[in-house]
Amino acid sequence: MAPIRIGIIGLSAAATGTNWAATAHLPYLLKSPHYTINALCNSSIEAAQKAIKAYSFPSTVKAYGSPDDLANDPDIDLVVANTRVDKHAQVLLASLKKGKDVFCEWPLDRNAVVAKEMLDAAKKGGGRVIVGLQGRQSPNVKKVKSLIAEGRIGKVLSSSVLGAAGNGGGEESTAVRYFVDKEVAIDYILYTIGELKQYSTILGNQRPETRIIDRSTNKTVETVNKTSPDQVLLQGILTSGTILSVHIRGGRAFASKPNFIWRIYGEKGEIEVTASGLGSNVGYDDEQILVDDFEKSTLETMSVDADEWDELPRQARNVARLYEALWKGERDGVATFDEAVGRHEMLDGIYEAWDKGQQGRLA
């Protein structure tokens, strides 16, 4: 099969923020024989040309300054959006309507209304769509799922998540300034498991003023009013009957303790997952899975099978596995647009209840 021809939107020569396109996507794309980068699209043709030069791409790579022009290119099979969250729909709608295959980072956009517009365009266009919820491709996540599926801890009775987000603790760097807006700050509550049948939530903005820090000088450049929550509590019942409790807060973790602690309690044992960062979307080298076997009275550290993508930079590993799944046509562990829109609707409902002062909302 011929390589999939890619057009990347948002790979800048001098990117701000997390520079996710360069750190998470390029390491795999430059190595894989399954994909070729045929075009870059930025805010102008000149900006795209600078990026082509900065990353030493061949002269055959096209430069675009308009998402519409990229969508009309017959030599592009897959369009990858690596822009800010609030620009995703703006840069992808033309490609979705044209029936291009699309890789959209999570979240799809600011809210469910915009996400539904993208979903409608995708269904009418008929192209394949992949959502950047690459945590599903994490070997650790797959390991935990297999442990549960094989009955290692018996029937799952409850699960708890405790995490410190790192940001949201009163300081932010200028590079992630836009995350202080609640429209895009949904990452705090993405670490739940399974589908919820009913739930209640409490959100709090305990640090309404946030200092924006220039990390090059460690000086405060401005103080802004933050609208995103820095305390998120969720309790619910999954469709399986499992009880779920989540508390994610801003700021650093307790000294010497991991930022992320996820426990899954069953009739025969308990699984604990710990890491220095929240969840497995990116993955952390110190991520650890322990199994407490009640019957054997043993505590076992579980090994996770390595693959060739472990050699890539940390941010690129699960993204690589997602690209591989797309190439192979696999759907297991690949989030659909429908699933992503459903998550948006849930999060919008949580925020709406918070805005109305309806803490403890039950759905």
Is residue 12 within 8 A of residue 51, CB to CB? The reply is: yes
Note the pLDDT tens digit of each residue in 283-337.
788 999 999 999 999 999 999 988 999 999 999 999 999 999 999 999 888 888 8
Which has the higher per-residue pLDDT, 216 or 321?
321
Long-range contacts of 287-291 (CB under 8 A, 24+ apart): 287/140, 289/140, 289/143, 289/144, 289/147, 291/147, 291/152, 291/153
- Residues 165 and 249 sit within 8 Å (Cβ to Cβ): yes
Instruction: Supply 317's token pair.
Output: 């590993």
Alpha carbon separation from 208 to 17, 155, 204, 250 (Å, rounded): 22, 42, 9, 12
Closest CA to 135 of 106, 98, 166, 172: 106
The lowest-confidence range among 50-54, 178-182, 349-353 is: 178-182
pTM for the structure as a whole: 0.86
Residue with tokens 């899975």: 289
> Residue ranges of the domains in the chain?
4-135+331-335, 136-307+342-355
Q: Which two tokens stand for residue 64?
A: 């675009």
Q: What is the DSSP letter of 321?
A: H
Whether the CB-CB separation of 165 and 277 falls below 8 Å is answered with no
Cα(363)–Cα(360) distance, integer angstroms:
10
The number of helix segments (H) and strand segments (E) in the chain equals: 9, 18
Would you give the DSSP letter of residue 311?
G
User: Is residue 242 over pLDDT 50?
Assistant: yes
SS3 320: helix
pLDDT digit string, tens, across residues 48-99? 999 999 999 999 999 999 999 999 999 999 999 999 888 999 999 999 999 9
C-beta neighbour count of 160 within 10 angstroms: 16
- At 18, the pLDDT band (50, 70, 90 cuts) reads low
Specify the fold of 4-135+331-335: Rossmann fold (3.40.50)
Most confident segment among 175-179, 180-184, 320-324: 320-324
SS3 89: helix
Query: pLDDT of 109-149, one tens digit each?
Result: 888 999 999 999 999 999 999 998 888 888 998 899 899 99
Residues 220-230 pLDDT 10s: 888 888 777 88
Work out the mean pLDDT of the chain and round it to a whole number: 86
Nearest to residue 123, comparing CAs of 341, 311, 277, 358? 341
Q: Which residue has the higher pLDDT, 186 or 288?
A: 288
Give me the CATH code for the 136-307+342-355 domain, please. Answer: 3.30.360.10
Can you read off the two tokens belonging to residue 2?
A: 């011929």
Q: Distance between alpha carbon 44 and the CA centroid of its chain, in Å?
A: 27
